[in-house]
Amino acid sequence: MEASAGLVAGSHNRNELVVIHGHEEPKPLRNLDGQYCEICGDQVGLTVDGDLFVACNECGFPVCRPCYEYERREGSQLCPQCKTRYKRLKGSPRVEGDDDEEDVDDIEHEFKIEDDRNKHKHLAEAMLHGKMSYGRGPDDEESSQSQFPPVISGGARSRPVSGEFPISSHAYGDPTLSASLLKRVHPYPVSEPGSARWDEKKEEGWKDRMDDWKLQQGNLGPDLDDYDPDMAMLDESRQPLSRKVPIASSRINPYRMVIVARLVILAFFLRYRIMNPVQDAFGLWLTSVTCEIWFAFSWILDQFPKWFPIDRETYLDRLSLRYEREGEPNMLAPVDLFVSTVDPMKEPPLVTANTVLSILAMDYPVDKISCYISDDGASMLTFESLSETAEFARKWVPFCKKFAIEPRAPEMYFSEKIDYLKDKVQPTFVKERRAMKREYEEFKVRINALVAKALKVPPEGWIMQDGTPWPGNNTKDHPGMIQVFLGHSGGFDTEGNELPRLVYVSREKRPGFQHHKKAGAMNALVRVSAVLTNAPFMLNLDCDHYINNSKAAREAMCFLMDPQVGKKVCYVQFPQRFDGIDKNDRYANRNTVFFDINMKGLDGLQGPVYVGTGCVFRRQALYGYDPPKGPKRPKMVSCDCCPCFGRRKKQKSAKHGASEPASLQGMDDDKELLMSQMNFEKKFGQSAIFVTSTLMEQGGVPPSSSPAALLKEAIHVISCGYEDKTEWGLELGWIYGSITEDILTGFKMHCRGWRSIYCMPHRAAFKGTAPINLSDRLNQVLRWALGSIEIFFSRHCPLWYGYKEGGKLKWLERFSYANTTVYPFTSLPLLAYCTLPAICLLTDKFIMPPISTFASLYFIALFMSIYATGILELRWSGVSIEEWWRNEQFWVIGGVSAHLFAVVQGLLKVLAGIDTNFTVTAKSSDDEDFGELYAFKWTTLLIPPTTILIINLVGVVAGISDAINNGYQSWGSLFGKLFFAFWVIVHLYPFLKGLMGRQNRTPTIVVIWSILLASIFSLLWVRIDPFVLKTKGPDTKQCGLNC
């Protein structure tokens, strides 16, 4: 399929298929051949005196005045060629560093340094060198002769996966295949040219000494000249591609011992609490004991899956030696990458564009990568921004690969505050980087113009550039659309190199059909990619998660392509890392406790859970297939003397089969083939091409399919009625039935016996954005918790699902999945437990009886075991104590707000069928760093924690006022209640700061009103004492006086 084939739109149900041509204007690339300014390509221009403008007086490197001013103001103030600092020229404004120079124009005094003849000669030679060397790197002449490998085709049945759309076949093993494309990783050092003589002398002396020593020892081995480096590399390539790195026993064993001790102490503590009720506050005591039992149960579900934490190492050099051998076709497996987006107003097109650019520039063979963009909102803004992104990728991708920059998302790369010259040795890097930054800024302006244009929708709907109405004007009723932006023909960069494929997909939507939101969009991408490229592995990313490590796909292949362990791996999950979070991480957005502790623990069991993004899947696992079984032990064959009839029965059945007519056998085979075909259609849908692709374990597309047939079939598989009466969403693909389809999808695979891998490379594989605002963060947590509630009340509940599959899900793994569905219910006891301190302070009651010296040991031991568990956990995981404490605080904040609303909403949805939505109203915030952090957005989720904060603060004021009023003897019982109340307030402190607004800028009116209300309430409390039992004065029932 060619990239210029046009936008394909159609509906299988309505028998419509339209190809829209000419909707894109040809965008000629600007000529940057260095005729004028070597940075921007404009004319150098003249000075105010009419002479040729010369920016650098030392080498004369041709630069125009705008680039010169930009470099002095924003850049390093150095000449790109000779690295001499730019001096201020006549008419140029002063910048930092000009104070050391004389207050004169340097161009008027330049001839005082050298004589005229030498200076003009030097200037002319430098300018000529700048003209001749522009755009050439040290290896350009060699790289210009390199050939690109054609599409590899296999036998007659299927074409081995290359990731290309089928248009023509090429011979296998084409002699034009060049190994210069592939970046080899050699583990053995190679001597530099010119050092052979020195190496030879050094080798001879070392060899003589080693031979003398071996002769003395009597074990002189074979001559070192027989050493074959090729054999050593072959042995290296046969080594495992990864390995487990167990946690050091000095760190993990004390951790396990403390867990066991804490479990025993917890049992004794609960026994003491149950056996010692408080009679005058029985309701408070019963509530507190019930909450503590639930907390213990929840802790067990969370703690024991972390019993076997492990780390992992990957060996990218071995992967390259095994699958990228010099002189042979590249054998790395193709990867289809999925990016999903819905609303470009909530998910900015520039963010999506950066994600796509990072994918197209990743360090992986270009013919093995296919990027699919799912636009579930059918937005013309997304379509046009993707067109602009494809054009900019022609310049961005070669720049990234030439200079090996990281990260390869331009917005993040140019905004990094680091020394971008570190480890860069190419002399043209500064010049090309500055030119690329200008290109990206122009690209951003074009995207911003598209966004501004999309704010005002025309009354007649959007019109494409050729006058055709945009097929997706009605977002709820539109045909399916497919557009190949980069493909077989037209997918080349500015240097003529091939680019990865980039495909726009918008599935069909019609009224009356259930579309299943993100899960349905991902399943549509699975089918489209299977028809067009059918790579055996798939990587899915959210539109705001860019590739931060260009070798991320290679890291995953070290597990998935490992011959020993890869066949049973269903997916490789990477941790989520985020940009744009304040250094204090007030609302635990980084979630490092989960990603660096819990996920490591699960990796030692059956593998981590799927978290929705940054995950590389095996396609066969998503199709509902079981993992390959290991070799079984052969059954014992009975002898004739034993009274067993296994052999006789087998012989009898063989004789019976031989006596049947051949015609009947043929009829049975035809029936079995027909039934098998019907079963496949019932399972995967009525698409012959797609069903055929599901049988190709190693991927590939049928060689007999034409591009037109593939396009028609691709439109078919994204039609809104394709999944009817199939197993999509039930047993195949992303599973329906919950907002958190990611947890459900991974759970189904683990129940079939697959295992997953947790990969944590030193450089984070992916980075995204997180909602740093309090209200947005709570709504995100609400969505996750509501999904867990839906799973709990569905047939996929981990408490009872999966036993029929033969117990393939390990028990501790089941504990973890049970915890992911049960944890929102902890909000009910947590809410009650956070309210108890205020009630105790206001009623002068307590949840515990007077504690003896022996009983106090239970409390001391329990608190010590809790903190010891946390400290040892931080010790083996590497998580900081600040991150752990932020996680504890937000556990309370989210528990009494988002989790509580999720339980209520889930019960209403499951039991009564009522779907409740919580809206967020945003106010304006300052446009500066972390301005969104301090924006106040009111939502009903803020009511419960605000209420708990107020009643606990009121309780503290009331308790202290009562103690002051009653004297010294009442302070003893007050300390336990105050400690309990302060525990709640300290955990809700980040929430309180979120209510107050900007750090160190708490509104004055809030402070004044807080002090005034607290003072008035304290005075009234001391005077009235409404909840404290009166103990002074006569008893009217005994004396009979009516006072």
pLDDT tens digits along 311-339: 999 999 999 989 988 888 889 999 999 99
Structure tokens at 968: 């010294």
Structure tokens at 172: 């296998």
The reported pLDDT for the residue numbered 258 is: 95
Helix (H/G/I), strand (E/B), else coil: 1030: coil
Helix (H/G/I), strand (E/B), else coil: 941: helix
Q: At what angle do helices 349-360 and 380-403 cross, to 10 degrees?
A: 40
Q: To which H or E segment does residue 571 belong?
A: strand 569-573
pLDDT at 889 over 50: yes
pLDDT at 456 over 50: yes
- Distance, in Å, from the CA atom of 390 to the CA atom of 402, rounded to the nearest integer, reads 19
Distances (CA, A) of 29 to 132, 395, 443, 942: 21, 9, 13, 53
| Location of structure tokens 């494409």 | 464
Structure tokens at 974: 């007050």
**Mean pLDDT confidence for 125-146:** 41
- Distance, in Å, from the CA atom of 895 to the CA atom of 824, rounded to the nearest integer, reads 7
Distances (CA, A) of 1018 to 291, 950, 965: 31, 14, 11
pLDDT at 894 over 60: yes
Q: Which of 109-123, 445-459, 842-856 comes out lowest in average pLDDT?
A: 109-123
Structure tokens at 652: 């009898």
Phi (first) and psi of residue 215, to 5 degrees: -65, -40
Torsion of CA 66, 72, 76, 80, to 10 degrees: 50
Phi (first) and psi of residue 542, to 5 degrees: -70, 160
DSSP 8-class letter at 497: -
pLDDT at 442 over 90: yes
The reported pLDDT for the residue numbered 132 is: 40
pLDDT at 184 over 70: no
* pLDDT tens for each residue of 538-571: 999 999 999 999 999 999 999 999 888 888 999 9
Q: To which H or E segment does residue 698 belong?
A: none
The reported pLDDT for the residue numbered 212 is: 60
373: which strand partners? 339, 504
What are the strands, taking DSSP E only, across 750-892? 755-758, 766-769
Distances (CA, A) of 303 to 574, 868, 897: 22, 14, 24
- Distance, in Å, from the CA atom of 266 to the CA atom of 17, rounded to the nearest integer, reads 67
- Distance, in Å, from the CA atom of 157 to the CA atom of 168, rounded to the nearest integer, reads 15
Mean pLDDT (the chain, rounded): 77
Distances (CA, A) of 639 to 643, 646, 650: 9, 10, 13
The reported pLDDT for the residue numbered 830 is: 94
pLDDT at 138 over 50: no
**Mean pLDDT confidence for 776-793:** 90
Nearest to 537 by CA among 338, 330, 341, 361: 338
Buried b (16+ CB within 10 A) or exposed e, 364-391: bbbbbbbbbbbbbbbbbbbbbbbbbbbb
Q: Give residue 700's pLDDT band: very low, low, confident or very high (50, 70, 90).
A: confident
Q: Which of 592-601, 796-805, 893-902 comes out lowest in average pLDDT?
A: 796-805
pLDDT at 226 over 60: no
Structure tokens at 167: 């248009």
Expressed in angstroms, the distance from the first to the final Cα of the chain is 100
| Location of structure tokens 């990206």 | 440
* pLDDT tens for each residue of 494-513: 888 889 999 999 999 988 88
The pTM of this model reads 0.74
The reported pLDDT for the residue numbered 150 is: 34
**708: number of Cβ within 10 Å:** 13
537: which strand partners? 335, 618
DSSP 8-class letter at 732: B
pLDDT at 235 over 50: yes
Query: Averaging pLDDT over each range in 190-204, 525-539, 706-720, which range is the top one?
Result: 525-539
The reported pLDDT for the residue numbered 805 is: 67
Helix (H/G/I), strand (E/B), else coil: 331: coil
By the 10 Å C-beta count (0-12 exposed, 13-18 middle, 19+ buried), 167 is classed as: middle
Catalytic residue annotation:
376, 742
The reported pLDDT for the residue numbered 148 is: 33
Q: Give residue 176's pLDDT band: very low, low, confident or very high (50, 70, 90).
A: very low
- Distance, in Å, from the CA atom of 735 to the CA atom of 727, rounded to the nearest integer, reads 10
pLDDT at 711 over 80: yes
- Distance, in Å, from the CA atom of 936 to the CA atom of 958, rounded to the nearest integer, reads 30
Helix (H/G/I), strand (E/B), else coil: 578: strand
The reported pLDDT for the residue numbered 943 is: 82
- Distance, in Å, from the CA atom of 417 to the CA atom of 439, rounded to the nearest integer, reads 20
Edge-to-edge strands of the sheet including 569-573? Answer: 16-20, 7-11, 480-486, 501-506, 369-375, 335-341, 537-542, 615-618, 569-573, 755-758
The reported pLDDT for the residue numbered 864 is: 93
- Distance, in Å, from the CA atom of 626 to the CA atom of 46, rounded to the nearest integer, reads 73
* pLDDT tens for each residue of 991-1008: 877 776 555 454 555 456
The reported pLDDT for the residue numbered 198 is: 43
**Mean pLDDT confidence for 956-960:** 83
Edge-to-edge strands of the sheet including 577-579? Answer: 546-547, 766-769, 577-579
Nearest to 331 by CA among 149, 567, 486, 550: 149
Q: Which of 73-82, 264-273, 532-541, 633-642 comes out lowest in average pLDDT?
A: 633-642
| Location of structure tokens 């994918």 | 359
DSSP 8-class letter at 85: B
Helix (H/G/I), strand (E/B), else coil: 31: coil
Q: Give residue 823's pLDDT band: very low, low, confident or very high (50, 70, 90).
A: very high
Torsion of CA 382, 383, 385, 387, to 10 degrees: 160
756: left (phi over 0), alpha (psi -120 to 50) or beta: beta
Buried b (16+ CB within 10 A) or exposed e, 8-28: bbbbbeeeebeebeebbeeee
Helix (H/G/I), strand (E/B), else coil: 339: strand
* pLDDT tens for each residue of 746-761: 999 999 999 999 999 9
The reported pLDDT for the residue numbered 941 is: 82
Radius of gyration, alpha carbons of the chain: 35
**1042: number of Cβ within 10 Å:** 5
pLDDT at 745 over 80: yes
539: which strand partners? 337, 616
Nearest to 172 by CA among 139, 148, 196, 149: 149
The number of C-alpha atoms within 13 Å of 812 and in the hemisphere containing its C-beta is 18
Dihedral (CA of 802, 806, 808, 810) sign: positive
The reported pLDDT for the residue numbered 272 is: 92
Phi (first) and psi of residue 18, to 5 degrees: -125, 135
DSSP string, 163-202: SPPPS----TT-TT--GGGS----SS--PPTT-HHHHHHH
Q: Which of 406-420, 527-541, 1019-1033 comes out lowest in average pLDDT?
A: 1019-1033
Phi (first) and psi of residue 71, to 5 degrees: -65, -40
Q: Give residue 240's pLDDT band: very low, low, confident or very high (50, 70, 90).
A: confident
The reported pLDDT for the residue numbered 1 is: 55
The reported pLDDT for the residue numbered 869 is: 94
% of the chain residues with pLDDT over 70: 71
Distances (CA, A) of 676 to 172, 671, 679: 33, 8, 5
Overall size of the chain counted in residues: 1043
**197: number of Cβ within 10 Å:** 8
**Mean pLDDT confidence for 828-853:** 86
pLDDT top residue among 940 and 934: 940
Q: Which of 51-60, 644-653, 927-936 comes out lowest in average pLDDT?
A: 644-653
**Mean pLDDT confidence for 827-840:** 91
